[in-house]
Structure formats: structure tokens, C-alpha cells
Amino acid sequence: MTSKDIILMDGDCGLCTHTAVFLNPRLKQQHSIRFLAIESKEGQQLISTFPEKFQLADSVYLIRDGKPYMRSAAAIRCLLYMKWYYSMWYPLVWLIPLPLRNFVYRIVARYRHRVFKRPATCIFPGLNPE
């Protein structure tokens, strides 16, 4: 694995694209994070190293300090990479019980393609257009 932390997102998802565009200018400079499409060759190679339950999940992934996170655990940890006025919300959001967070995450994931248009092109590096 690489020394940079990595966010793996769906390259064909409008919500993921909007999230990456929102996050990028708001990141702390001292943190090094990389956005990567799940569908990319490198993304698939990384996912193949995860535990089986992670491999079978249709989710956003965060690899932080070499450890993979998925669903709401990954999404909430993204706050830690952001400037202080965003990262200060992390402890409060983390207090929400995991089953409730993942329930909300799954609802949003189910309807994301209906609410957000699919991007014309993938903005994440490493995805070969076919």
C-alpha cells in the first residue's frame, strides 16, 4: 500500500463526484489524501486486500494509516482531514450509534443515482475510460 491515505469512491456516482469536489479545497495542507475510483485497476487491487466483508460491500472506503474503513465509518473519518471548522464536528457525529449511521448511509446510497446525475466523465485518477 502507499503511504498516503486513500478515499475510494464510485467513479460513476454524482454524489461521490460532488463530495470529492467539496472536500478537495477544504482539506488541511499537512494531511496527504488521495481520491481513487473503486472501478480503477488500482482501486480493485486495494479492495482485494481487504477482509471479505469489506470486499462484498458496495460502499465508499477510506484507507487511513493502512486500515480500511467503509460506509459511515469512512465518511465520518473524512472530517478528520478537513480544516478545523469541519473537523470539530467529528466527535459529535461519532456519538451517533453505528447501526443508525449505517442505516442512514444505506438509504442515501440506495437513492444517490436518482438525486445526483451521473458525471459525464470520472474525475478520479486511475480510471481508464472504455
82 is in which domain, residue-wise?
Answer: 5-115
* 81-91 confidence digits (pLDDT tens): 999 999 999 99
Q: How many domains does the structure of the chain reveal?
A: 1
Which residues, at least 6 apart from 16, have a Cβ–Cβ distance to it below 8 Å? 9, 10, 60, 112
Q: The domain spanning residue 34 has which CATH number?
A: 3.40.30
Averaged pLDDT for residues 90-113: 94
The band of 73, judged by pLDDT with boundaries at 50, 70 and 90, is very high
Judge whether 129 lies within some domain: no
> Per-residue pLDDT tens for 36-59?
999 889 999 999 999 998 988 888
Q: What is the 3-state secondary structure (H, E, C) of 65-98?
A: CCEEEEHHHHHHHHHHHECHHHHCCHHHHHCCCH
CA 61 to chain centre: 5
**pTM score, whole prediction:** 0.85
Residue 126 domain-assigned (yes or no): no
